[in-house]
Amino acid sequence: MKVLPTLGLLVISMLASLTGIAQPLPFMQQPLDVKVKRMPVVQFMKWITARTGASFAYPNEVVEGHAPVTMEGSHITVQVMLERIFPPAQYDIRTIGQQIIIRFRKQPSAVTDTAQPTRMLQMNTVVVTALGIRRQQHTLGYAYAEVRGNELTAARDIHPLNTLSGKVAGLDVSPVNSGMSGSVRLTLRGMRLLGANNQPLLVLDGIPVNNSSPGQAERYGGYDLGDGTAIVNPDDVETVSILKGGASAALYGSRAANGVLLITTKKGVAKGLEVAFMSNVGLEQSNDPYHFQEEYGSGRDGMLPVDAAAARWVSQYSWGPKMHPDSLVWLWNGQQVPYVNARHTINHFFRQGFRSTHSLSASAGSENLRVRLSYTNTRSKDILPESDLQRHHLSTRITANLTRRLEADARFSWLHEQVGNRPALSDNPNNVGYVLSGLAANIDPDWLQVYKDTAGRYINWNNNGYQVNPYWAVHEQPNNSQQDRLHGFLLLKYKLSPDLAVQLRTGVDHTAFTFQELMNYYTPVNPLGAINVKDRRLSEINADLLLTYSRRLHQLGITLNAGAIRMDYYERVRNMTGREMIQPGNRGVENFGTRMRTEMVLRKRTNSLYASLDIAYKRLLYLSLTGRNDWSSTLPADHNAYFYPSASAAFQFTELLKDKRVLSFGKLRVSVAQTGTDAAQPYLLRLSYSHNPDIPRIKGYSIGGVAVDHVPFADLRPGVSRGYEAGVDLAFFNHRMGLDATWYQSNTRDQVLNAPVSITTGYTSAVINSGNIRNRGVEIGLTLIPIAGKAFNWETRFIFSRNSNRIRSLNTLVSPYYTMSVARWGNASIVAKEGAAYGMISGRHFLRDAQGRMVLDVNHLPRYTATDSYLGNNQYDWTGSITNRVSYKRFSVTCLLDVKYGGNIFSMTNLLAYANGRQRGTLAGRQEWARSEQERISAGKRPEEWTPTGGLLIQGVQAATGNAVSAYVNPQAYWTRVSDNIPEAFIYPATFVKLREAHLDYRLPRFHHRFREAMVSLTGRNLLTLYKAVPNIDPESGYNNITAQGLEYGSLPMRRSYGVKFSVQF
């Protein structure tokens, strides 16, 4: 069994960790007399600088929120003083020359939920929570996860957030496998919304990022045009905070039903100049090659094509006779070649990919002004020929103390991205994955490189206009996109008094995106040529006002936040379609005789008021209450206001213990919250109108009409999600072992759905409120440090998540089934059914009698059920990961194993491979059937007069009589029947185990006093699929990031990447 070696590899993988120990230099032993009381920690560092000449460097989080220093004594060394303030169990103190560098020590945390090494649980660690409000981590009454920025760049991916995979319990990261600059599916604690976007809200430095996609593929084809996460530059990221539950995200109100990802970027250094450079180059290749049968080639019914014309019909059918070098076979070009297995496999079509990323940043500052500038250039050449990407990130962040009371913070990030030849997906004629997976075993992909004649005309090779020659697709059917995006904010904070501050912030997220797709002249599906152009302009402006009051009364601490937010959203989409190319070869828009244009404008506004109250008693009890009220323009005016409250509490019970040698830290937490989802799409309340480009103009004027195909709903309500959470965070043996465990439940009601209606009404659907989905699950994280020495260290991290959901109710208008996605082939669907789990795959089964025997027709072929029923589910039963890091002196190695167990996938690639005879499963009975047919012909019998003596053995019962049957049938006839009508046969387990990430790092010795740190690394990502149950495709494959999870069709191979990274700081 494959599972046993996989488990062995899981155990072997526990060979990695990284922990560094600094060595004190002599001036750290300088003794000083000290007597200070409640001195701010930054001022105390200046006190040390004045007496020793040493300077300090540290991240802002080290000192923000740190308790004042009270210390008295004589002849206390600098090292002892610093270790009293920054305990070595929690902080790393190292020196370079006369500079003291203080950082969080990377050790396990019972709360920080990341697979990479994390700093030990720290009593005074300040973390970023909702709306950018900073709180001490031990005061939180809900699960909190944080991933450090360097974990996103350790083994980087072309998609910045793919590197979160396997690092956070409860966060499912699933790449769409759609090429460079494609999108990624992110879900927190299960799927909450039916047929809608289940991705968490993305917030960058307190400003929401519009993460919608300009376009996604559907059952009939399309392209993945990416999503909003491309604006994130991993080299600029300080931390990613994951707010999973309702209590942690409730301050985002109607946008927080799916959780929140908070990204905080780096600031400039507080003193001096710091320059960092990083260069990462690597190769990409196909990770999961096709494995098809290589014994039978082109033909049908065991016969070779008789001429070139017949060959065009069977170029993608492998139902011919068994291949033999003494036989010749016709090709579509009129040639005859030996009938043998192709010299090159399908995988030969893909090329060696290449990717490079170069980043340069400069930080400078003083006590009152800090500036950071960064530039990152990314170039990628995909494994798909002619597919490439160029991406430029430019960012500036400035923080300043304008006066003693007034602070300013500003950041502006700009992205310029160009993508050439995104892969076509699903049933798009240009989908090379779909076409290649159907090639007959004797057809060499290299032969298809002759795809046009001397006049530039398309060479017909398969008589199928919807399966274009893949070389014609990549060379003659170009598509390209360009994106310019600006994201930034300006913040002013004024301290009215030591206890009271007011903050004003405004932020913008602006995108200009264009996409052009060409269907060249002579293309079979559109021989006169066509062009499609999309121009999308999107702008979201957020402005908020925050008032903060903080006061400590003896053993009671109180923090009150109150504020208001206004969000304005604008989107304009212009589409232009051109038909009938005037001059072949001229690919400009003006070269098309018929041009049609449409325009859509969307506007939306949300006004909000919010408040939060945090109460702390000693270091023992913590209570947090929040409330937010949203007024949305997309809801009816008489009830467009909705309130979203939350409450959370934490009990740090180890404060009652005197002996903490075994249990170093312990906290119980519980929370309850309500979040929501308003009508994300505007104009659902009433009819809207526009002109119809498909209707011919009359006297030069367009004909107007209703612009929507759904019945509006004037009484629309927002979706509401109520959540509950309880958990415990524990640390043992001086933080050498950390455990965090969480139980949660959420119910999401009144979802906005489109219920199907009769087309006789003039509409296709009606907007309604319906649905109640319950998600319930557990999350567990365990961190161990088996070895922590001066030279050798080993750290391991396990995470486990299990989510189960149930659709509790559906409106009668959409019951018993609500269809979320339909497969192109096989009549399978992703549906919602009351009482069933989310993500049910539905379709027809083999018809069986009461004893489970297959029911056969008169030809001994299987019959199938008359109605659809449960086939599987697209949700995983559980997910987990194991991360190990081992370091020895300057060397360290890290590996991450990612596991997803359970769930199902309906593979149309394998369905079509069975239909055309290419799947290995079609080999059974083929040779025996051919021998039986020879015997029949020798006997001079017609098929109906002959009882086959060999073939695919089928056992079942006769439909008409109920009698038991055991007969041989033609394998081609059997698999044609099954692939056309019975999707049950192509449901596969989605379980997999992958070596998701690995890197070997070497920290170079200091070779010059100006260099702070230099490192060289060997990196790899998606290196191995250690176990999977579905053949020929990657189990994570899909063609969009919304509703098509569990449906796979013509997917491309997953990319494996490996490379070298060099980074230096000075």
What's the whole-number mean pLDDT along residues 544-571?
Answer: 93
pLDDT level of residue 12 (50, 70, 90 thresholds): very low
Assess whether pLDDT exceeds 60 at residue 56. yes
- Quote the pLDDT of residue 17: 30
pLDDT 10s digits, 566-616: 999 999 999 999 999 999 888 888 899 988 888 889 999 999 999 999 999
Determine the average pLDDT of the residues in 45-64: 80
Q: How confident is the model at residue 120 (pLDDT cuts 50, 70, 90)?
A: very low
pLDDT band at 628 (very low <50, low <70, confident <90, very high): very high
Domain that holds residue 100: 21-104
The contacts of residue 871 (CB under 8 Å, 6+ apart) are 828, 841, 842, 843, 845, 904, 906, 983, 984, 987
CB 412 within 8 A of CB 488: yes
Other beta carbons less than 10 A from residue 840's beta carbon: 23
Nearest to 344 by CA among 451, 472, 439, 423: 439
pLDDT 10s digits, 747-775: 999 888 888 777 777 777 788 888 899 99
Report, as an integer, the average pLDDT of 367-377.
94
Reported confidence tier of residue 111, pLDDT bands at 50, 70, 90: very low
So what's the pLDDT on residue 695? 61
> Tens digits of per-residue pLDDT, 969-985?
999 999 999 999 999 99
Question: Phi and psi at residue 850, in whole multiples of 5°?
Answer: -65, -25
Q: Check whether the bond before 423 is cis (ω within 30° of 0).
A: no
pLDDT-derived band at 10 (thresholds 50, 70, 90) equals very low
Residue 123: pLDDT band with limits 50, 70, 90: very low
Evaluate whether residue 893 is within a structural domain.
no
- The per-residue pLDDT for 690 is 67
945 against 271, higher pLDDT: 945
Residue 825, CA atoms < 13 Å, CB-side half-sphere: 25
726 vs 245: CA distance, rounded Å: 10
Which range, of 2-6, 396-400, 591-595, averages the lowest pLDDT?
2-6
Pairing of strands 891-901, 829-833: unpaired
Q: Is pLDDT above 70 for 412?
A: yes
Placement of tokens 């692939």 in the chain: 979
Residue 34 lies in a domain: yes
- Residue 70 binned pLDDT confidence (cut-offs 50, 70, 90): confident
| 532 vs 788, higher pLDDT | 532
Which pLDDT score is estimated for 7?
38
Nearest to 749 by CA among 216, 303, 247, 193: 193
Q: How does residue 363 score in pLDDT terms, banded at 50, 70 and 90? A: very high
Does 115 have pLDDT greater than 60?
A: no
CA distance 724 to 726: 7
pLDDT band of residue 113 (cuts 50, 70, 90) is very low
Distance in angstroms (rounded) separating the CA atoms of residues 309 and 293: 25
- Least confident stretch, 329-343, 688-702, 736-750: 688-702
pLDDT at residue number 559: 93
Of 114-118, 125-129, 441-445, 462-466, the one with minimum mean pLDDT is 114-118
* Residue 918 is assigned to a structural domain of this protein: no
CATH number of the domain to which 66 belongs:
3.55.50.30
Given a cut of 70, whether residue 691 has pLDDT beyond it is no
Query: Token digits for 117?
Result: 């090494």
Give pLDDT, residue 440: 95
Among 421, 604, 488, which residue's Cα sits nearest to residue 231? 488
Q: How far is CA 427 from the centre of its chain?
A: 23
Please determine, for residue 1025, whether its predicted confidence score (pLDDT) is greater than 90: yes
Give the list of residues 6+ apart from residue 403 with CB closer than 8 angstroms, or none.
Answer: none
Closest listed residue to residue 713, CA positions, set 757, 676, 747: 757
Count of the separate structural domains present in the chain = 1
Query: d(Cα 752, Cα 716) in Å, to the nearest integer?
Result: 8
Per-residue pLDDT, averaged over 129-153, amounts to 87
Residue 698, pLDDT score: 67
pLDDT at residue 645 in the model: 94
Q: Of all residues in the chain, what percent carry a pLDDT higher than 70?
A: 92
**Is the alpha carbon torsion for 519, 521, 523, 527 positive or negative?**
positive
71 found inside a domain: yes
How do beta strands 855-856 and 952-958 pair?
Answer: parallel
What is the band of 694 on the pLDDT scale with cuts at 50, 70, 90? low
Local structure of residue 385 (DSSP, 8 states): T
Predicted confidence at residue 176, as pLDDT, reads 81
Average of per-residue pLDDT values in the chain: 88
Neighbouring C-beta atoms of residue 239, cutoff 10 Å: 19
In a domain? residue 27: yes
Lowest mean pLDDT among 10-24, 235-249, 492-506: 10-24
Straight-line distance from the first to the last Cα atom of the chain, in angstroms, rounded to the nearest whole number: 52
* 496 falls within a domain: no
| pLDDT at residue 355 tops 70 | yes
Looking at the domain assignment, is residue 88 inside a domain? yes
Average confidence (pLDDT) over 373-385: 96
507 pLDDT higher than 80: yes
**What distance in Å separates the CA atoms of residue 509 and residue 207, rounded to the nearest whole number?**
8
| Structure token digits, residue 472 | 């014609």
Q: Tell me whether residue 886 is in a domain.
A: no
- Band (51; pLDDT cuts 50, 70, 90): confident
Q: What is the pLDDT of residues 206-265, one digit of tens each?
A: 999 999 999 898 989 999 999 999 999 999 999 999 999 888 888 988 888 899 999 999
- Amino acid symbol at 689: Y
Residue 127 above 90 pLDDT? no
Q: Quick one: 762 exposed, middle or buried, by C-beta within 10 A (0-12, 13-18, 19+)?
A: exposed
pLDDT band at 101, cuts 50/70/90?
confident
